[in-house]
Amino acid sequence: MIAIFTPIITGLTLAFLWLNFDTSFLFAIILGLTAGVSPVAIGAYFADQTSPEDRGRIVGIAIGATLLISQIFLLTGPISIASITNTELIIIAIVLLLTFVGLTFRPKEKPQETPVTKRRKGPPPKQITLYAIPIFLFYVVAGILFSMVFPTIQNHVSNSIFYLIWVIPFVIGAAIAGVQLDTRGRKFPTILGLAITGVSLAVFGILGVNWGYLCIVPLAVGYSFVAITSIVVWADLAPANSRGKYYGLGFGLIAAAQMIGLILSGVNFGIASSTQIGSYMLFASIALFLCIPPLFLADEALPKELIEKRQLLDYLEGVKNKFTGKK
């Protein structure tokens, strides 16, 4: 699937360099359809090729790096080299093409699965629901956040300041979240992230827009914890022969929740009034704290044996480094 759709997305991305608006609108629909398939295929491939105790760190680094690079494009605006405009589209197409080449011609290796992962079967519907509810509510909140809160904040601060208070903390938080998800399991870091996000939004509502933007730093860290979990958890829950299906349902759930958030906000990526912001903060805080009880009831998605294994390896590595440093 990746080998099929990556060249299509690459070609469509390059086509935007020469298309006019009317034609590009049609191509954007096709690009959206193919781009919807690609994350599912990549998610299934990721689940097949990684060990459960390493997934958090891999996703944390990947998502952090992706956000860092994409926001640099937004910060700098259109890039022109010589007479070529929109050079960023060419850069994106090159990255996609390299991804296609790397995955297509990569030596085929059968991943080494631990006995724990071999024994795991699909979870009961109750467990899927207990993880799906928090993810759904979280992304409803995220949809409203992106549609009216962020544009309002960016009306008060420059793009460079927003980059510092949102992107950099998110990247750092994603790296920390990845480590925590692999050493502490999936539940505790996610609950911590939801709590940090909820408190940050509540304080933002109290302070107002003029000073509330300072809460974006802890908000970005908390947001990153939940965002990383929402990608990793489907690989943990899915049995080996259903990973594509689980990632399809997972990403579909996330996309639907964000669309609902956009509709509920009543604002199409525009500036909102203080009253609207205050109402949103109240709703968001309540919604995020409602995400926590289902996680307490859910079983840990990462097997206990793997958590203990990772903690033991980290402890032994720390002891080794300690004695090596003394010498």
Q: How confident is the model at residue 89 (pLDDT cuts 50, 70, 90)?
A: low
Q: Report the range of poorest mean pLDDT among 76-85, 121-130, 173-182, 207-216.
A: 76-85
86 domain residue, yes or no: yes
pLDDT in tens, 251-300: 999 999 999 988 887 766 666 677 777 788 888 888 899 999 999 999 88
Decide: 44 and 251 in contact? Cβ < 8 Å: no
Percent of the chain with pLDDT over 90: 26
Question: Which pLDDT value is given to residue 282?
Answer: 83
CA 185 to CA 201: how far, in whole Å?
25
327 domain residue, yes or no: no
Decide: 134 and 191 in contact? Cβ < 8 Å: no
49 domain residue, yes or no: yes
CA 279 to CA 293: how far, in whole Å?
23
- 3-class secondary-structure state, position 84: strand
Question: Which pLDDT value is given to residue 306?
Answer: 78
- 3-class secondary-structure state, position 81: strand
Question: Which pLDDT value is given to residue 106?
Answer: 56
Question: Which pLDDT value is given to residue 103?
Answer: 54
110 domain residue, yes or no: no
123 domain residue, yes or no: yes
241 domain residue, yes or no: yes
Sign of CA dihedral 6, 136, 269, 75: negative
CATH code at position 82: 1.20.1250.20
CA 27 to CA 304: how far, in whole Å?
47
Question: Which pLDDT value is given to residue 98?
Answer: 59
pLDDT in tens, 93-102: 565 555 555 5
177 domain residue, yes or no: yes
326 domain residue, yes or no: no
Question: Which pLDDT value is given to residue 312?
Answer: 80
Q: Give 61-72 as a DSSP string.
A: HHHHHHHHHHHH
Domain interval for residue 133 = 1-105+116-320
| Cβ contacts of 178 within 8 Å, gap of 6 or more | 56, 57, 58, 59, 60, 61, 228
Query: Residue 91: is its pLDDT beyond 50?
Result: yes
- Give how many domains the chain has, as a whole number: 1
